[in-house]
Structure 1
Amino acid sequence: QQPLVSTNIMEASFLSDTDNQTFVDEHFYFDDTINGFSVAMAALYLVVCILGLAGNSLVIVAILKLDKMSSSTTVYVFNLALADGLFMVGLPFIASQNFQNHWMFGDTACKVVMVLDGINQFTSVFCLTVMSVDRYMALADPLRFARWRTPRCAKIVSAFLWLFSLLTILPMALHFSADHGLCIPEVVSDAWWLGVLSYTFVMGFALPFTIMTASYAALLLTLRSQRLRTPTQNQESHRLERQVTKMVVVVVVVFGVCWLPFYAFNFSSLYQNGLVLTFARGFEFVVLLSYSWSCANPILYACLSDTFRRHFRSLLCPADKSTPSMQCNTERCDSSDTGVRDVTIVA
């Protein structure tokens, strides 16, 4: 069994072929029948790439210029936006290969692109996971966890996440090769590739999704408990609880919708024997969906965070005099009883 499509380090499926060259020949065989589909997908890849780069660049500029990473939250948001933005950089290479059915950038570029692609992909997911834990600590007991939520500590954790992503992905990324005209992994054996898929699924989806769900569930339980203990502020607390509940549902659902289909296709490809063209088209679409996750994060900021809405408005409409000071003192907010509002930055 050999890879059907190579997109990034966690995005490969396979079907029964005798060797990589047979796969390449069959891949070219589909070329005449999917030109229209390839053009449409190339256009969608371009749209996602542009929106992802623009949106995440806006987040980065907003944090550096207006917030200056004044809290642990914005340090994690900055690293998330940086990883998502860099993740978009590899998209033109992937789109070019899918459109031309050929990797034209050489073997070294193949390995470099896959390494960088994997690092940014894992770092994006890891940052979002750490942010969910950070938000819980900010709400559950801000004084107790204050020393773990300083910008300096957040920068150290973020640096570790980048290093951990590199160590996690490097052994697999180096197995990619362009020797057969496509940037695809050299599969050692079926068992080895199944192990790779299982490992990336656990590290890139199952474990982060479990941690995020547990953190957000604990956060909502804490909110409800605080609301019940403070009946005088019941209306305000109830409003904040609804706001955070909406945020939690959106973040978890969007993450699941963007990534779960891709993993489902990867594992189902191990056992599918027919409808090769239909499966290939479906796989290419779920790959695009997984890249759309990095494009969606800035939109979630704009929709769910009052702070980032003010930041974006200040950058895009600098003549607007009604915008208050853009310095976001989130650490102060987190330490207060009304710190729940800041939790909406978590997207």
Structure 2
Amino acid sequence: MSVAPAAPAWMAIPLDGFGITMTIIYLAVCTVGLAGNILVMVAILKLDKMASATTVYIFNLALADGLFMVSLPFVAIQNFRHEWVFGELFCKLFMVLDAMNQFTSVFILTAMSVDRYMALVDPLRFAHWRTPRNAKVVSAVLWLFSLVPVLPMALHVSVYQGACTLTPPPGSDPRIWMLAFISYTFVLGFLLPFTLMSASYASLVYTMRSQRLRQRYRQVGAGTSPSLESHRLEKQVTKMVVAVVVVFGVCWIPFYTFNFYSVFANDVANFARAFEFAVLLSYAWSCANPILYACFSDTFRCYFRTLLLPAQPNVDHHSNAAVTERYNLTDADGRDGSVVMRQSRSH
């Protein structure tokens, strides 16, 4: 979702090694991201059957991320040729769908953060909320809600001076209008979700630490050893928190920084290459999510191995419900489990 004004100077990068390299990287990110997210969706549909609220959210995130990857070849071609060659109508469709998938990814990731918090803090109390059915309803509502920040694009996106970009309405101050629009998308697409995710994960880690300390005091008083499993689980969740929050922030902060800078600066052409890299980084967020699953989830590693190496023996994924519920930090019936998280982008 490109919200920065695209004057000719932004696009007028000579066809050199940088332009060719960026085009190749765009296509590589698209290929890896699309393949990875399709693999996640197939794994959930075929092996997990959407048996938990978490996998419902992950499926929708993978769907939004995969659709977001589809737009990358068009971005690559525009950057390679320094012009939009697909027409006015497709420009509007491209920008609206691109933005919708981006906002949906962020919104669903935020819902997952709240779900993780409820799963740990009071699993019994929130068990009736954290069902696959309710997760599907929440996901559907978030897909529809993502249209709210996207609707202005349908009205103000057009091909301007060879680029598919936002164009301020006639009679308005372009700088003020663009600043208002960038601020609007920044608050809805980054600031509020990032704040809520950070607060949820900070509370989650604090709760786990407090529970472990209380357990340690009870064990010391009883003359027993502290639980190594509790400590291992805390470390796993802490690593997941760092991965989710840091990757999301690293991939999106440069993009919004350049967008805000472009409103006030008169030398944006000097930063055209850096801005292009920031746009690529925002797309790379969706590409990274399947990799995060493989790194942090034993269950997803098993799923991927089953799909990619079917000749190798694997455990029966449908033998009991505990497999799918391993996504929960603490299930409603008290079982401990693995943790998996994932996230998504905008521009």
TM-score (norm. length: structure 1):
0.89
Please give the residue correspondences for 1:30-41 in structure 2 after superposition, counting only pairs within 5 Å.
Answer: 30-31=12-13, 33-41=14-22
Conservation of the 8 A alpha-carbon contact between 1:259 and 1:290: yes
> Which 10-residue stretch deviates more, 128-137 or 221-230?
221-230
Q: Distance in 1 between matches of 2:112 and 2:10?
A: 41
What is the deviation of 1:103?
0.9
Conservation of the 8 A alpha-carbon contact between 1:75 and 1:154: yes
Within the candidate set 275, 297, 309, 1:305 is matched to 297
Match of 2:258 in 1: 265
Match of 2:156 in 1: 175
Conservation of the 8 A alpha-carbon contact between 2:53 and 2:135: yes
Structure 1 unpaired stretches of 5+: 1-7, 15-22
SS of 2:102's equivalent in the other structure is: helix
Conservation of the 8 A alpha-carbon contact between 2:4 and 2:262: no
Conservation of the 8 A alpha-carbon contact between 1:115 and 1:173: yes
Q: Distance in 1 between matches of 2:339 and 2:180?
A: 37
Answer yes or no: is 1:324 the counterpart of 2:315.
Answer: yes
Answer yes or no: is 1:246 the counterpart of 2:239.
Answer: yes
Answer yes or no: is 1:334 the counterpart of 2:331.
Answer: yes
Letter in 1 for 2:287: C
Please give the residue correspondences for 1:99-110 in structure 2 after superposition, counting only pairs within 5 Å.
Answer: 99-110=80-91
Note closer, same or farther for the CA distance 1:346–1:226 as it changes in structure 2 (3 Å cut).
farther
Answer yes or no: is 1:343 the counterpart of 2:339.
Answer: yes
Match of 1:92 in 2: 73
What is the deviation of 1:345?
4.2
What is the deviation of 1:236?
1.5
Structure 2 unpaired stretches of 5+: 220-225
What is the deviation of 1:36?
2.2
Alignment deviations for residues 224-259 of structure 1 (CA, whole Å, 9 cap, x no partner): 122122234532211111111011011110111100
Match of 1:279 in 2: 271
Please give the residue correspondences for 1:1-347 in structure 2 after superposition, counting only pairs within 5 Å.
Answer: 8-9=1-2, 11-13=3-5, 23-24=7-8, 26=9, 30-31=12-13, 33-178=14-159, 180-188=161-169, 189=173, 190-231=175-216, 232=219, 233-274=226-267, 276-321=268-313, 323-327=314-318, 328-330=323-325, 334-339=331-336, 341-345=337-341
Letter in 1 for 2:317: M
Conservation of the 8 A alpha-carbon contact between 2:108 and 2:142: yes
Alignment deviations for residues 201-241 of structure 1 (CA, whole Å, 9 cap, x no partner): 11111111100000001111111122122234532211111
Note closer, same or farther for the CA distance 1:27–1:228 as it changes in structure 2 (3 Å cut).
closer
Structure 1 vs Structure 2 CA RMSD: 1.8
Note closer, same or farther for the CA distance 1:107–1:291 as it changes in structure 2 (3 Å cut).
same
What is the aligned length? 325
Letter in 2 for 1:301: Y
Note closer, same or farther for the CA distance 1:346–1:218 as it changes in structure 2 (3 Å cut).
farther
Letter in 1 for 2:129: W
